[in-house]
Structure 1
Amino acid sequence: MSEKQLVAETLVAVIGEHLSSDEILNLLEKPKTAQHGDIAFPAFALAKHLRKAPQVIAGEIVEQLPQKAFEKIEVVGPYINFFLKKDSVSEEILHEILEKGADYGNQMTGEGRNVPIDMSSPNIAKPISMGHLRSTVIGNALANIMAKIGYQPIKINHLGDWGTQFGKLIVAYKKWGSEEAVRENPIQELLNLYVRFHNEAETQPELEDEARQWFKKLEDDDAEALTLWAWFREESLKEFMHIYDMLDVHFDSFNGEAFYNDKMDAIIEELKEKHLLVESKGAMVVDLEKYGLNPALIQKSDGATLYITRDLAAAEYRHKTYDFAQSLYVVGNEQSMHFKQLKAVLEEMGHEWAKDIHHIPFGLITQGGKKLSTRKGKIVLLEEVLNEAIASAKEQIAAKNPDLENKDEIAHQVGVGAVVFHDLKNDRLNNFDFNLEEVVRFEGETGPYVQYTHARACSILRKANFEIDLDAALALNDADSWEVIKLLQAFKEAVTKAAAQYEPSVIAKHAIQLAQAFNKYYAHVRILEDNEEKQARLSLVKAVTIVLAEDLRLLGLKAPENM
């Protein structure tokens, strides 16, 4: 039983006729300061039932509460403040963490069921820019968090690998390209060809007709068109994999848009059979007026399909293939209407599982307050940003610890981790400004700060030759250790909340708070002093390394033991 549950059960014995244990649990708060205890119950919630002032109610409840399970219970205005027994709670928490290690906080909510996560999804023949960072790292963190609570995540990179741009690329390659140049620098060369096509088409509009003809050949399985398309895709993927390796992000499927080409006719047939398709100006739509949405355009007047047709095919395929408990789409906020329409069409088709589809939107990365531009060549390349972050980390590590072994490996973990952490510490719906200098700082609310705290704690344990002793007395009751203990305990709740809200920032904020509390503890307490509490203090340090490393792992970061 958690401490919050203990408080709820204690209160329900007195006020159970008015509020259930779950209702009380939802009302419990964490006081703003430690002077007001560890858990607070606001008596406002009972004012309506009891027709008394909340502070009077609070006083009357406390008189009836058994105090033995707590250090003390106090009334402050309308709040009942519970002070937990530091000795018994610290003993229990430290034993549990030392015993379970990285499994601390694991839950079986998901019962092993599948959760496909549609994430990253760059376009073939175009570079991975900073604009792709958010979908990639939010999706990866959510996969780790869902696995932590017992689901089986399936990371799907729904590649942009189809469309008229391939007709343009084929024309450009046949006119101006060379195999050697593409093999040498695939993305840049293919992008150059694509840009050249658009420049030339301004004075030679017939190129657009050629491009349409080549894309039609591609759709009709023309051998040359298919060979070139497959080659462009393969060369692009090699380049993408290099960046995914830098981020340490791996996928279970690269089924992109092209994969669903032969699955869309069945969707259109199903919509026809269910009498859901309505003609509108020659095009076919699904009326979604009852959902308060615009009609979903399924097929253009020339018979061409659209993104939503493909996404309907993908949703049905994923449900058949994975029998998912939830299906997540980590796609920018600007696509919200698309996903509302997608779910509404699936509901109209009678698919009950449509309710298990969730769009996980996110805000923009800005620079100097302005949106990162992809027009006129102003692409901010993700690989360049990661390399700059690694170089900055290496510089700082060389200044702090010139004799450090594996400098390059640690600099990579810290630099890349800094960029990922900076993204994930922000509430995903918020836009945020990116400034590399701030991101890779070793002080402040940054990834390197959390990693450095973890390394510092590991260093203390090495110095002490610490070994876990589960039979030792691990009770601590000083104020500094108590702040750390409460945050170690809060990790489980952070995991549950992050999963429920699809919000990795909950984990990042927990990591920052735990690192700050530990550094305060380190500054105020003589951890290595020989006395009867030494084993308990070192066990606290060990527990901090376990939980911080797990915080970082869930976010997709490494936890170096030396920095």
Structure 2
Amino acid sequence: MEKHILALQLSHLLGEQFSREWVYDKIEIPKQPHLGDLAFPCFSLASFFKRNPKEIASQLAPQLKHDLFAKVQTAGGYINIFLNQAFVTEQTMKQVLTDPSSYGSHSFGTGKTVVLDMSAPNIAKPFSMGHLRSTVIGNALSNLAEKCGYTTVKINYIGDYGTQFGKLLAAYQHWGNEEKVRENPLKELTKIYVHFHQASKDDPSLIEEGREWFKKLEQQDEEALKLWKWFKAVSLEEFEKVYELLGIEFDLTRGEAYYNDKMDKTVKLLQEKQLLEESEGAQVVRLDKEGLPPCLIQKSNGTSIYATRDLTAAIDRYQTYEFEEALYVVGHEQSLHFEQVKHVLLKLDFDWADQLKHISFGMMLTDGKKMSTRQGKTILLEEVLNEAIQQAASNIEEKNPELQNKEEIAKQVGVGAVIFHDLKHDRRNDVEFSLEDMLTFEGNTAPYLQYAYVRGRSLLEKGEFHIETADASLKEEPAWPLVKWVRHYPETVFKANTNHDPSIIAKYLLELTKAFNKYYADTKILQNDQQNARLTLIYVFTVVLKDGLRLLGIEAPEHM
């Protein structure tokens, strides 16, 4: 709130050339407490006013007045604002206490829909660590959008079509064993798929065989269709085990194949707009003016390509949901593909195509290299989750063997560790897979946050805190850093949603928790007449921490 008030006052003083939004973006939070709680640098005003930044700061500072501002000072070319700690502390705690579950929420998304294309594992392949990123980033973005008032539709767009399935069908003809597939579906199907790629290096005819099997699948060949449906059914059963561990549900699970009988309409639209051109026997849409290579619509052998299915899917989704945004949570290696899809839709005069956003992310690496199913270099997510849960269970058994609901808490801690290890990184960066780092229960990890929550809840229990008798009138200096972090939560939610980056929440929670731990270490919470007010702050902290973890898809256990 104070940033908005400061921006409003400064923009009024500076004149219409400087909008409130421009001023707001310039406001900083000083790293050193002696420099205040907010700071506005005047250096960017110097050329406009043709005056020294220090002079500008000195002229503006005395004119900034509000109940929230305890003191306004200048330092060089900066205006430093010190907030009224008692006033802000009481106001912040009352905001949380009024409606704990809605603190940090926004309403600008009310009545609007966000569609998320996320997770999207390929059938007949294991759910690897490589698919973790799309799944947990997409889930967190959905939670953030809902926190901002949007209705969300999470679509698990299963990879169940394409030339790779022709290769798998061909591989099954050569090396498939029905009994082994039924016994361990994804392991066996992956094994023959990897073998196919290795064998095709010595026998290139296998590649052509794979193409022929995909063509059979497109032509609804009975044998190809039967095997494909079987592979899909057993894959979805295996995927569901992983989603259950992660605690993630979808509004719609739909494969690429759903659009097979709907693509002709899209191709017809392209023809009517005279956008299709022949290129080496294939059908393409040229995107020269957009500075992009042609978008392939149909291969020379008449088979479809995923661009055609994505075009058809986007049209279908807009007709169904009239979305405000459609977020494609897919790795950055697909950036060109989504640029092409968007521009083809714009050429079809679908203005809503500008609302399609590719939420790219870096790769999950092993030893600095991309994971690859065809090379047999994958790490299975289910195995990692189970190992994390097992290690959490071992820690509980060692440190708190009498703990109730040990299995459930081990799951919350282990799964939370895996999710947070991913989401604490900027989504655009690659993440090096490290089981050791992921399962470390100290430092910048989910267990560190979860333990702080448990510690806070324990204090509330010992102090017999009741929300009905909460006291928001806390007046002590050591509490101020924690109060400020609690106060930053609504703005952090807004920023994370706007930037489509859950790491903003993850990093915020680490700072919030560090402030709590310092307050806990420096203050005797359960002492004297300030006890109830201190416990009220602890309660407020636990509300924000639990909700922040929830946005990331992580549970907060009451005991550890």
What TM bracket, shorter-length normalisation? over 0.9
TM-score, normalisation: structure 1: 0.94
In the other structure, the counterpart of 2:425 is 426
Q: Distance in 2 between matches of 1:373 and 1:169?
A: 16
| Aligned-pair CA distance for 1:219 | 2.0
Q: Distance in 1 between matches of 2:94 and 2:118?
A: 38
Q: Distance in 1 between matches of 2:341 and 2:12?
A: 48
Q: Distance in 1 between matches of 2:67 and 2:221?
A: 80
- 1:557 equivalent to 2:554? Answer yes
Matched ranges for 1:322-471 at <5 A: 322-469=321-468
Is contact 1:173-1:193 (8 Å) kept? yes
Is contact 1:441-1:449 (8 Å) kept? no
Aligned-residue sequence identity (percent) comes to 51
Does the C-alpha gap of structure 1 residues 278 and 59 become closer, same or farther in structure 2, counting only changes over 3 Å?
A: same
Is contact 1:442-1:452 (8 Å) kept? no
Which residue identity is paired with 1:560? P
In the other structure, the counterpart of 2:181 is 182
In the other structure, the counterpart of 2:312 is 313
In the other structure, the counterpart of 1:89 is 88
Q: Distance in 2 between matches of 1:245 and 1:149?
A: 26
In the other structure, the counterpart of 1:249 is 248
| Aligned-pair CA distance for 1:357 | 0.2
| Aligned-pair CA distance for 1:376 | 3.6
| Aligned-pair CA distance for 1:184 | 2.3
Does the C-alpha gap of structure 1 residues 72 and 268 become closer, same or farther in structure 2, counting only changes over 3 Å?
A: same
Q: Distance in 2 between matches of 1:550 and 1:406?
A: 22
Is contact 1:123-1:159 (8 Å) kept? yes
In the other structure, the counterpart of 1:191 is 190
Is contact 1:464-1:528 (8 Å) kept? yes
Deviations 1:242-288 (A, max 9, x none): 01111111112221111111111111111010011122222221111
In the other structure, the counterpart of 2:533 is 536
Deviations 1:41-81 (A, max 9, x none): 11223222322111111112223333654211111111111
Structure 2 SS opposite 1:297:
strand
In the other structure, the counterpart of 1:291 is 290
Q: Distance in 2 between matches of 1:197 and 1:67?
A: 72
Q: Distance in 1 between matches of 2:462 and 2:534?
A: 14
| Aligned-pair CA distance for 1:333 | 0.8
| Aligned-pair CA distance for 1:191 | 2.1
In the other structure, the counterpart of 1:495 is 493
| Aligned-pair CA distance for 1:208 | 5.6
- Tell me, which stretches of 5 or more residues in structure 2 are unaligned? none
Q: Distance in 2 between matches of 1:345 and 1:77?
A: 53
| Aligned-pair CA distance for 1:397 | 2.6
Q: Distance in 2 between matches of 1:289 and 1:6?
A: 48
Structure 1 SS opposite 2:40:
strand
| Aligned-pair CA distance for 1:110 | 1.3
- Which of 492, 501, 505 is equivalent to 1:507? 505
In the other structure, the counterpart of 1:144 is 143
Q: Distance in 1 between matches of 2:64 and 2:172?
A: 80
Is contact 1:67-1:73 (8 Å) kept? no
Structure 2 SS opposite 1:318:
helix
Deviations 1:329-385 (A, max 9, x none): 111111111111111111111110010000011112223434334454222111111
Does the C-alpha gap of structure 1 residues 229 and 530 become closer, same or farther in structure 2, counting only changes over 3 Å?
A: same
Structure 2 SS opposite 1:336:
helix
Which residue identity is paired with 2:83? L
| Aligned-pair CA distance for 1:11 | 3.0
| Aligned-pair CA distance for 1:491 | 0.7
| Aligned-pair CA distance for 1:225 | 2.9
Deviations 1:391-448 (A, max 9, x none): 2222223333232122221111111111110110100111122322222222211111
Which residue identity is paired with 2:117? D
Does the C-alpha gap of structure 1 residues 182 and 356 become closer, same or farther in structure 2, counting only changes over 3 Å?
A: same
| Aligned-pair CA distance for 1:22 | 3.0
In the other structure, the counterpart of 2:518 is 520
224-233 vs 65-74, greater mean Cα deviation: 65-74
Is contact 1:73-1:80 (8 Å) kept? yes
| Aligned-pair CA distance for 1:467 | 0.4
Is contact 1:476-1:482 (8 Å) kept? no
Is contact 1:440-1:447 (8 Å) kept? no
Deviations 1:18-37 (A, max 9, x none): 53333322221111111111
Alignment size in residue pairs:
560
- Which of 480, 483, 489 is equivalent to 1:482? 480
Which residue identity is paired with 1:537? R
Q: Distance in 1 between matches of 2:524 and 2:284?
A: 71
| Aligned-pair CA distance for 1:204 | 7.0
Matched ranges for 1:218-297 at <5 A: 218-297=217-296
| Aligned-pair CA distance for 1:181 | 3.0
Is contact 1:144-1:555 (8 Å) kept? yes
Is contact 1:177-1:193 (8 Å) kept? yes
Deviations 1:82-121 (A, max 9, x none): 1111111111111111221121111121123221111111
Structure 1 SS opposite 2:296:
strand
Does the C-alpha gap of structure 1 residues 58 and 346 become closer, same or farther in structure 2, counting only changes over 3 Å?
A: same
Which residue identity is paired with 1:222? D
Is contact 1:58-1:75 (8 Å) kept? yes
In the other structure, the counterpart of 1:55 is 54
Structure 2 SS opposite 1:294:
coil
Matched ranges for 1:207-226 at <5 A: 211-226=210-225
Q: Distance in 2 between matches of 1:224 and 1:542?
A: 62
Is contact 1:18-1:49 (8 Å) kept? no
Does the C-alpha gap of structure 1 residues 278 and 407 become closer, same or farther in structure 2, counting only changes over 3 Å?
A: same
In the other structure, the counterpart of 1:8 is 7
Is contact 1:97-1:543 (8 Å) kept? yes
Is contact 1:98-1:542 (8 Å) kept? no
Q: Distance in 2 between matches of 1:142 and 1:498?
A: 8
Is contact 1:329-1:360 (8 Å) kept? yes
Q: Distance in 1 between matches of 2:170 and 2:263?
A: 27
In the other structure, the counterpart of 2:542 is 545
195-204 vs 413-422, greater mean Cα deviation: 195-204
Does the C-alpha gap of structure 1 residues 221 and 301 become closer, same or farther in structure 2, counting only changes over 3 Å?
A: closer
| Aligned-pair CA distance for 1:17 | 5.3
165-174 vs 240-249, greater mean Cα deviation: 165-174
Does the C-alpha gap of structure 1 residues 198 and 51 become closer, same or farther in structure 2, counting only changes over 3 Å?
A: closer
Structure 2 SS opposite 1:158:
strand
Q: Distance in 2 between matches of 1:411 and 1:297?
A: 48
Structure 2 SS opposite 1:162:
coil
| Aligned-pair CA distance for 1:134 | 0.6
| Aligned-pair CA distance for 1:478 | 2.7
Q: Distance in 2 between matches of 1:266 and 1:522?
A: 64
Does the C-alpha gap of structure 1 residues 47 and 174 become closer, same or farther in structure 2, counting only changes over 3 Å?
A: closer
Which residue identity is paired with 2:456? A
